[in-house]
Amino acid sequence: MDPNIIFVVREVGGFWPEIISALITGFSILVVAFFSYIYGLRAYFKKREHEQIMKRYLEEGIDRLSERIYHVKEVFLDNYLKAEDILSQMKTFHRIDLSFKFRTIPKYVETTPMYKLSCLLDDIVFAQSIQELFVHINSTTDSLDVNWRSLASRAIEIQQAHQEPTTLEQLTEELIEPLRRYLKEDYDKFAKFFYIEDGLQQIAAILEKETTITWSDLSHFRNRKDIENIIATTKENYVELKK
């Protein structure tokens, strides 16, 4: 055999360990890159799921309901203060302005946020409570707008018909004190609804801490002990409210 050929074969044979080592290294790099890609893709989809859950149940659910409740409370308190002002006008014989208008709220609650919250908790107690709140505020507003305008007109008639000192006593006995009692009873019932906002804020705080929650985790979320306690407390308050 040609000595040159033997030399070449020996040279090539000497490179095999290096070739195998290079192949192993290249394959290892490919495996690491593949699993890094899979891990990154999985992390991306989990992050997307978390963002979707936060958007659906926190931003478009709990936060939106909290905004509606805040607005409703603001309307009620504004009307309450306006009614108190009318009472003050009656009691001090100031001229009663019949052009007053009480603020109103929508007759119906936006159902989509309530549905999302009910799905998150697998319970409708918050939806029931919020509907009850809207019914109460609407009923109060209707009463204020109709009855108080009539009562204010009656107060003007009494003021115009009597000028002696006994007028104030009569006015107080006939109109003002009953109205004050009505306002206090109405406000006391309104204050019972504060548990709704407290519960929503607690749930929102818990949900915000769930930085890795996915769709498959939602069933575990509603079964958490702290969430179950919030739901139980809300149900107790709702039962008390309906008495």
| Per-residue pLDDT tens over the stretch 196-209 | 999 999 999 999 98
Question: Which of 14-18, 21-25, 147-151 shows the highest mean pLDDT?
Answer: 147-151
Q: Tokens in use for 11?
A: 């040279």
All residues at 6 or more sequence positions from 110 whose CB lies less than 8 Å from its CB, including other chains:
64, 68
Mean pLDDT over 2-29 rounds to 54
99-158 residue pLDDT tens:
777 888 877 778 899 999 999 999 999 999 999 998 888 888 887 777 777 777 776 676
- Quickly state the pLDDT bin for 96 (edges 50, 70, 90): low
- What band does 9 get if pLDDT is binned at 50, 70 and 90? very low
Whether residue 216 is predicted with pLDDT greater than 80 in this model: the reply is: yes
Q: What pLDDT shows up at residue 10? A: 46
Residue 196 in contact with residue 130, Cβ under 8 Å?
A: yes
Whether pLDDT at 3 is above 50: no
pLDDT of residue 12: 47
- Assess contact for 69 and 130: CB atoms under 8 A: yes
Decide: pTM greater than 0.85: no
**Span 24-74, pLDDT tens digits:** 666 566 666 655 656 655 665 677 888 888 899 999 999 999 999 999 889
- Distance (Å, whole) CA 196 – CA 62: 11
Of 121, 82, 113, nearest to 231 by C-alpha is: 121
